[in-house]
Amino acid sequence: MGSNKLARSRYAFKTSGNEGNSELPEVSSNAELLTTSTIQTHIDDGSMGYVHSYEIGSTMDGPGIRFVLFLTGCKLRCQYCHNPDTWDIRNGKPYAFDKMMKKINSYTEVLKISKGGLTISGGEPGFQHAFVKKIFKAAKKLGLHTCLDTSGFLGANFSDEDLMDIDLHLLDIKSGDPEVYKLVTKQPIQPTLELAERLSRLNRPVWVRFVLVPGLTDSWENVEKVADICANIQSLERVEILRFHQLGKSKWEQLGINYTLAETETPTLELVERVRSQFKARNLTVY
Ligand code: SF4
């Protein structure tokens, strides 16, 4: 999912790492040629996944070296999204489950040696939940650490049993205030809160990611609410504060979508420190 995850080199990784799209997909080279009902069948049975890109070697998306799979499809419309080209599932290349697992398997040993593993991101990976579940189940059989990078908006697509196949959640909490959340994403906060509560109850490890956007998510009150949500996740291991920046701007322009944050600056170090202090005041580990 969730894009605009890291105000670090992840942006560059994702926009440049497009190796997956250079491979021949198993069914079609263009999802636009598939009918809506065919795509829905794939969404439901997970036999085929729609892949924006993948990268090998990320150290930003979970512990160790990661194979990161970026899927298409997202129901949020975050104002700061760096990859609006992932919103429509049809923008992905169809990959058969077996073919993707073969690809992942070819990196298994190096991933294990680095104590890394497989991360599935997006878009919002919950959009293609059946494919994600199949991939994670197979990855666990290979002995790989698994990580889901998600907004939590489609958390209801995963049963408690499914969540046990996910070793780490990178949970994007885009706001603590419901109105700000809606302003940022055009969707309600409740599904994310419900997933956070479940992960806490099930004691599943969580790293929360919070994108700090001046004038949008940075108010003292909003950050207090995010920090309160984090403090209530018993299985929380860390909070990552991601500084907004403009690396995704050109994609909005290319897609002809109105980009509301064109004039927004990257947060100052002073602002970042203030926000960090709000999380630290709750004895949370903050990066
Ligand atoms: S719109 Fe979707 S893909 Fe973009 S940042 Fe938000 S959750 Fe992530």
269-280 vs 220-231: helix axis angle to the nearest 10?
A: 40
Name every residue whose Cβ is closer than 8 Å to that of residue 108 and which is 6 or more positions away in sequence: 142, 143, 144
User: Could you read off the pLDDT of 80-132 as tens digits, one per residue?
Assistant: 999 999 999 999 999 999 999 999 999 999 999 999 999 999 999 999 999 99
Q: Cα–Cα distances in Å, from 240 out to 15, 28, 135, 243, 284? A: 21, 38, 26, 10, 10
Atom of ligand 1 nearest to the CA of 211: 5
Q: Which residues line ligand 1 (CB under 6 A)?
A: 1-4, 74, 76-78, 81, 83, 86, 122-124, 151
Atom of ligand 1 nearest to the CA of 185: 6
Residue position matching structure tokens 């170090």: 269
Structural tokens at position 220 = 């003292």
The rounded distance, in Å, linking the Cα atoms of 270 and 260 is: 24
Please state whether the peptide bond connecting residue 117 to the residue before it is cis, i.e. omega within 30 degrees of 0.
Answer: no
In the predicted model, is pLDDT for residue 46 greater than 50? yes
Residue 47, CB-side half-sphere exposure with 13 Å CA sphere:
8
Which residue among 15, 69, 72, 76 has the greatest number of ligand 1 atoms within 8 angstroms of its CB, and so is best to mutate? 76
- Ligand 1 geometric centre to CA of 205 (Å): 22
pTM: 0.91
Contact 40, 73 (CB under 8 A): no
Backbone angles phi, psi at 15, to 5 degrees: -75, -25
What phi-psi label fits residue 176: left (phi over 0), alpha (psi between -120 and 50 degrees) or beta? alpha
- Ligand 1 geometric centre to CA of 189 (Å): 14
Is CATH 3.20.20.70 the classification given to domain 10-280? yes
- Ligand 1 geometric centre to CA of 160 (Å): 24
Strands, E assignment, 111-248: 117-121, 145-150, 168-172, 206-212, 236-243
In the predicted model, is pLDDT for residue 281 greater than 50? yes
Contact 144, 94 (CB under 8 A): no
Write the DSSP string, 251-268.
Answer: HHHHHT---TTTTPPPPP
Contact 84, 121 (CB under 8 A): no
Reported as a pLDDT band with limits 50, 70 and 90, residue 33 is confident
Per-domain residue ranges of the chain: 10-280
Which residue among 52, 61, 71, 78 has the greatest number of ligand 1 atoms within 8 angstroms of its CB, and so is best to mutate? 78
- Ligand 1 geometric centre to CA of 86 (Å): 8
Specify the pLDDT at position 179: 98
- For the chain, the average pLDDT equals 90
Considering only 7-11, 165-169, 182-186, 230-234, which range has the smallest mean pLDDT?
A: 7-11
Q: Using alpha carbons, select from 204, 62, 59, 239 the residue that is nearest to residue 145.
A: 62
- Ligand 1 geometric centre to CA of 114 (Å): 29
Atom of ligand 1 nearest to the CA of 77: 1
User: Could you read off the pLDDT of 215-265 as tens digits, one per residue?
Assistant: 999 999 999 999 999 999 999 999 999 999 999 899 999 999 999 999 999
- Ligand 1 geometric centre to CA of 170 (Å): 13
Specify the pLDDT at position 15: 32
By the 10 Å C-beta count (0-12 exposed, 13-18 middle, 19+ buried), 57 is classed as middle
Radius of gyration of the chain (CA): 18
Nearest CA to ligand 1 atom 8: 2
For residue 138, what is the enclosing H or E element?
helix 129-141
Structural tokens at position 247 = 């690396």
Which residue among 5, 15, 74 has the greatest number of ligand 1 atoms within 8 angstroms of its CB, and so is best to mutate? 74
Reported as a pLDDT band with limits 50, 70 and 90, residue 29 is low
- Ligand 1 geometric centre to CA of 278 (Å): 25
Which residue among 6, 124, 150, 255 has the greatest number of ligand 1 atoms within 8 angstroms of its CB, and so is best to mutate? 124
Nearest CA to ligand 1 atom 4: 81
